[in-house]
Amino acid sequence: MSELAASDTALRLGLVGSPNAGKTTLFNALTGLRAKVGNYPGVTVERREGEIDLAGRRAVVIDLPGTYSLKPISADEAVVERALRGEIDGLPAPDALVVVADACSLERSLLLVGQVLRLEKPTCLVVTMVDELKSRGGELDVARLSQALGIPVIPVIGHRGLGLDSLRQTLGEIENWSRPPVVPPADAIDRGAWAASVLGTAFRERPGRSRTTDAIDRVVLHPVAGTVLFALVMVTFFQLIFAWAEPAMNAIDAGIAVSTNAVRSTLPPGFLADFLADGLLAGVGSVVIFLPQIVLLFALLYLLEDVGYMARAAFVIDRVMGRIGLEGRCFVSLLSSYACAVPGIMATRTIPSPTNRLVTILVAPLMTCSARLPVYALLIGTFVPAENVWGPLGLQGLVLLGLYLAGAISALVVAAILKRTVVTPENLPFYLELPSYRIPTLRLWVSQVARSAWAFLRRAGTIILAAAIVLWVLLSFPRAEGVSGLAAVEHSVAGRIGHAVEPVIAPLGFDWKIGVGLIASLAAREVIVSTLAQIYAAGDEGDSLRDAIRKDIDPRTGKPVYTPATVASLLVFFVFALQCISTLAIMRRETNSWRWPAFAFGYLWVLAYGSSFAAHRIVGALWPV
């Protein structure tokens, strides 16, 4: 049977529920790992569907985005309502709806249930976390709840798989589902009264406060202890991506080097060997190198999310982020971007507000990522005198600190500006649920981390690999026989582009060689170092490259190429310019269009050009050569 014919006959079940209701756990429990992930057209909302077999009858479970209300207040939220009504092209409306609600917050969730029932589709209610309800002293009469609502109600404990058989059985007999005798009221206040009367009959005992959550929060949200804990968690995030991923990244580098050598020693020198070693293997390496950071970041991120800490961290830092128009959840992404913008941008998935998420994605490249460090180290180490300014504080360290601060401050300023201009201003309230602490399940955790890593490889990795190969072609073709170093690079397409753009970059103090370096650095910022080394036919390591650039003389002026003005200009350029195809690829994946990566690329290059020009003039006036 063809895929299309199958989905025509399959029953479509829409899974509706608020965040933290246990919807994802239930979806995974029902569909296993066979979910298909995509995007809804036009918005950045993730779309997940999975097939299940209901006693011989095939069904598709559609995991709709978590929502507190069916009355949308933004384009992204409208997706749920439009999907439920079948108003999205190519997506028929679900045949039946499954509302997922946490037993402890049923008093709130019934407001959403009421909205869903107004759609007048076959509906059933799954009440999750009934074990937690019991531990909080609550007692729910499921039969009476079902009677009061007029629909089937199935209690489950999703993470232990209890109640799933009964749910599957119910899903298999939609024809027999009872319908509510009257539709709940449209007005929110009247619906509140309806919910109160339903709960009055259904709860034998209301749940009390969660003692465990209260006790943990007394420490975790304590003004002093909570702040210290927040700082510790954030330092751990930073360490994880910055330092602890390094052994794995070095191992990948070494693995690629071994494979490159193997290719070089087995194949005769020539085009094929060059392509496999410097083009393909280096390209694969530039994709795989991100995996340790991504896996580690998401392992910690999802662990803290599943436990319930991420919402608390957002609560602690919200005031600071609110000042620039963002929210607490943006902090982790921006911090992660200090190590690398790719995992940082992927981490924005946990930001509920679409506009805040977009702004965070757009400014993430401004945070000083670790790929800039080799470039800063080369330039500062070569040209900034190693003298102490004040006590043990050295000039070199101060310059480096200044570059880091310039990145962070400009990210915050740009975020504040974007929030008021480019991104459609929305009158959206800020709200954040603090879920009860929960013990995460290994299965859900592993599947979340694996899904993120796989999504990166499949959707961003392919673009990164292709771009790396294109750059290799630009730097090695047309091939010049018998020459190497400067002459070979000058002969290549990249060398010609470098010469062609020289008039444009000359006001910044850059010559064609730096131009080629900037083109090559599109693969990854630190590549400019090895490209310059190749151009100057100098070793990558040691002082030979430093000597070479220090002694390089502009043949036309007879003065050094690297004047203080040019060095300052180049450093400033690296603070701002988005020279990273991997970042563009991940932006494309996370925003589901080329529009935002194009915008980020454009505004950051304009910012880089303008700032470098200013730096070149100012430093040139202060330290004339």
User: What is the closest distance, in whole angstroms, from the C-beta atom of residue 192 to another protein in the complex?
Assistant: 4
Q: Does 315 contact another protein by CB under 8 A?
A: yes
Q: Does 149 contact another protein by CB under 8 A?
A: no
Q: Which is nearer to another protein, 160 or 209 (CB)?
A: 209
Q: Which is nearer to another protein, 73 or 553 (CB)?
A: 73
**If you search the block for the tokens 């004047």, which residue do you land on?**
563
Q: Which is nearer to another protein, 223 or 391 (CB)?
A: 223
Q: Which is nearer to another protein, 136 or 525 (CB)?
A: 136
Q: Which is nearer to another protein, 103 or 340 (CB)?
A: 103
Cβ pair 512, 561 in contact under 8 A = no
Q: Does 552 contact another protein by CB under 8 A?
A: no
Positions 421 through 460 that interact with another protein (CB under 8 A)? 426-435
User: What is the closest distance, in whole angstroms, from the C-beta atom of residue 102 to another protein in the complex?
Assistant: 8
Kindly write down the DSSP assignment for every residue of 29-76, as one continuous string.
HHHTT--EEEE-TTS--EEEEEEEEETTEEEEEEEPPP-S-SS-SSHH
User: What is the closest distance, in whole angstroms, from the C-beta atom of residue 223 to another protein in the complex?
Assistant: 4
Q: Does 325 contact another protein by CB under 8 A?
A: no
Positions 553 through 582 that interact with another protein (CB under 8 A)? none
Tell me the C-alpha distance between 347 and 407, whole Å: 19
User: What is the closest distance, in whole angstroms, from the C-beta atom of residue 434 to another protein in the complex?
Assistant: 4
Residue 222 corresponds to which amino acid? H
End-to-end, the C-alpha distance of the chain in Å comes to: 76
Q: Which is nearer to another protein, 76 or 511 (CB)?
A: 76
Output the CA angle 446-449-453, nearest 5 degrees: 135
Burial (0-12, 13-18, 19+ Cβ within 10 Å), 240: buried
User: What is the closest distance, in whole angstroms, from the C-beta atom of residue 121 to another protein in the complex?
Assistant: 20
Q: Does 217 contact another protein by CB under 8 A?
A: yes
Positions 30 through 69 that interact with another protein (CB under 8 A)? 68-69
Q: Which of 56, 181, 223, 268 binds another protein (CB under 8 A)?
A: 223
Q: Which of 24, 25, 44, 105 binds another protein (CB under 8 A)?
A: 105
User: What is the closest distance, in whole angstroms, from the C-beta atom of residue 138 to another protein in the complex?
Assistant: 9
Tell me the C-alpha distance between 547 and 538, whole Å: 9
Sheet of strand 11-17, all strands in order from the earlier edge strand to the far edge: 36-39, 46-54, 57-63, 11-17, 96-102, 123-128, 153-155
- Reading the block at residue 590, the tokens are 């996370």
Q: Which is nearer to another protein, 36 or 71 (CB)?
A: 71
User: What is the closest distance, in whole angstroms, from the C-beta atom of residue 200 to another protein in the complex?
Assistant: 13
Q: Which is nearer to another protein, 69 or 382 (CB)?
A: 69
User: What is the closest distance, in whole angstroms, from the C-beta atom of residue 428 to another protein in the complex?
Assistant: 6
Q: Which is nearer to another protein, 227 or 239 (CB)?
A: 227
Q: Which of 180, 192, 374, 560 binds another protein (CB under 8 A)?
A: 192
Taking CA atoms, 34 is separated from 17, 51, 280, 451, in Å, by 21, 7, 31, 11
Half-sphere exposure of 361 (CA within 13 A, CB side): 33
* Total of chain residues touching another protein, rule CB under 8 A: 43
Cβ pair 357, 329 in contact under 8 A = no
Tell me the C-alpha distance between 514 and 536, whole Å: 11
Q: Which of 57, 82, 108, 168 binds another protein (CB under 8 A)?
A: 108
From 91-99, 103-111, 122-130, 333-341, give the range in contact with another protein by CB under 8 A.
103-111
Query: Which of 109, 70, 121 minimizes the C-alpha distance to 192?
Result: 109
CB atoms < 10 A from the CB of 537, how many? Answer: 15
Q: Does 19 contact another protein by CB under 8 A?
A: no
79, 312, 365, 567 alpha-carbon torsion, rounded to 10°? 170
Cβ pair 325, 419 in contact under 8 A = yes
Binding to another protein by CB under 8 A, coded x per residue (else -) over 73-92, reads x-------------------
Query: Which of 341, 602, 620 minimizes the C-alpha distance to 506?
Result: 620
Q: Does 382 contact another protein by CB under 8 A?
A: no
Q: Does 104 contact another protein by CB under 8 A?
A: yes
Binding to another protein by CB under 8 A, coded x per residue (else -) over 225-254, reads -xx---------------------------
Half-sphere exposure of 330 (CA within 13 A, CB side): 27
From 144-152, 187-195, 352-360, 584-592, give the range in contact with another protein by CB under 8 A.
187-195
Cβ pair 98, 13 in contact under 8 A = yes
* Residue 422 region by backbone torsions, left for phi larger than 0, else alpha for psi between -120 and 50, else beta: alpha
Q: Which of 251, 320, 386, 553 binds another protein (CB under 8 A)?
A: 320
Q: Does 318 contact another protein by CB under 8 A?
A: yes
- Reading the block at residue 153, the tokens are 């109600």
Q: Does 188 contact another protein by CB under 8 A?
A: yes
Q: Which residues sit opposite 510 in a β-bridge?
A: none
User: What is the closest distance, in whole angstroms, from the C-beta atom of residue 126 to another protein in the complex?
Assistant: 17
State the DSSP code for 372: G
Query: Which of 418, 364, 413, 404 minimizes the C-alpha distance to 574?
Result: 404
Tell me the C-alpha distance between 262 and 377, whole Å: 31
From 203-211, 268-276, 357-365, 524-532, give the range in contact with another protein by CB under 8 A.
203-211
* Max Cα-Cα span within the chain: 92
Q: Which is nearer to another protein, 106 or 358 (CB)?
A: 106
CB atoms < 10 A from the CB of 51, how many? Answer: 17
Q: Which is nearer to another protein, 87 or 426 (CB)?
A: 426
Q: Which is nearer to another protein, 43 or 505 (CB)?
A: 43
Which residues are CB-contacts of 241 (< 8 A; sequence separation ≥ 6)? 293, 296, 297, 336, 338, 339, 340, 343
Q: Which is nearer to another protein, 110 or 403 (CB)?
A: 110
8 phi/psi in degrees, rounded to 5: -70, -40
Q: Which of 81, 107, 131, 502 binds another protein (CB under 8 A)?
A: 107
User: What is the closest distance, in whole angstroms, from the C-beta atom of residue 330 to another protein in the complex?
Assistant: 15
User: What is the closest distance, in whole angstroms, from the C-beta atom of residue 432 to another protein in the complex?
Assistant: 4
Residues that bind another protein (CB under 8 A): 68-69, 71, 73, 102, 104-108, 111-112, 188-189, 192, 196, 206-207, 209, 217, 221-224, 226-227, 311, 315-316, 318-320, 322, 426-435
